[in-house]
A and B are shown apart, each in its own frame.
Chain A
Amino acid sequence: DVKVTQSSRYLVKRTGEKVFLECVQDMDHENMFWYRQDPGLGLRLIYFSYDVKMKEKGDIPEGYSVSREKKERFSLILESASTNQTSMYLCASSLPGQPQHFGDGTRLSIL
């Protein structure tokens, strides 16, 4: 079974802090993705990566950056957290063109 592990289930941070969300997958998948999910807006793609050290902007990259130094790890960085970044963050991985497998999600609250 594919295992996608996100570092925290719940996280509370303050406005202006730099926040790191970590995601690790154990199936040697090339593709990794970061989404946020908000009521009424569905899943929105923030960034994705098709290979090590490669990244592409998704639909809502503003205020975020990512890092993929190793194939199994994809980190999402909130450079200076703001209250409108309070959300559920979901990491996913897949083989090219195949369905994505999701982590458990991180509920991030920015106070």
Chain B
Amino acid sequence: RKEVEQDPGPFNVPEGATVAFNCTYSNSASQSFFWYRQDCRKEPKLLMSVYSSGNEDGRFTAQLNRASQYISLLIRDSKLSDSATYLCVVISYNQGGKLIFGQGTELSVKP
């Protein structure tokens, strides 16, 4: 089983739609969680951290469920410019603080 798993997609949604991605992690000692965004042929860029109480940044909402060991990203009112691959990232300090990346979920927002 992979340490961090994501549905690779692609998720094809119309503009204005709400879309949600989940990411599961296997290490219960994981302590920090992030969502990165990667555009085609570009480097990953930090989108947002994920806090225990959940957090929101504009149209983006991130949530953490420690009991079920998953994090989620919700995008409201999708824009064409949201089309990208979204990478789930987990840090487990009992693994020396390495970042573990999921394979990413591809999102395509259509007009």
Contact = CB atoms under 8 A, between A and B. Distances in A.
Nearest to B8: A40
A101 B46 contact: yes
Contact of B87 (A43, A56, A101, A105): A43
A48 B98 contact: yes
A31 B99 CA distance: 11
A100 B99 contact: yes
Interface residues of A, number: 21
B103 A99 contact: no
Contacts of A97: 32, 91, 93, 97
Contacts of A100: 46, 99
Contact of A90 (B34, B44, B89, B103): B44
Interface in A61-111: 90, 94, 96-97, 99-105
Nearest to B102: A42
Contacts of A31: 97
Contact of B46 (A40, A42, A99, A104): A99
Nearest to A104: B43
A58 B36 CA distance: 20
Contact of A99 (B89, B93, B96, B104): B89
Interface in B7-36: 32, 34, 36
Interface centre among B32, B44, B45, B101, by most A CB within 10 Å? Answer: B44
Interface of B: 32, 34, 36, 42-46, 49, 87, 89, 91, 93, 96-99, 101-104
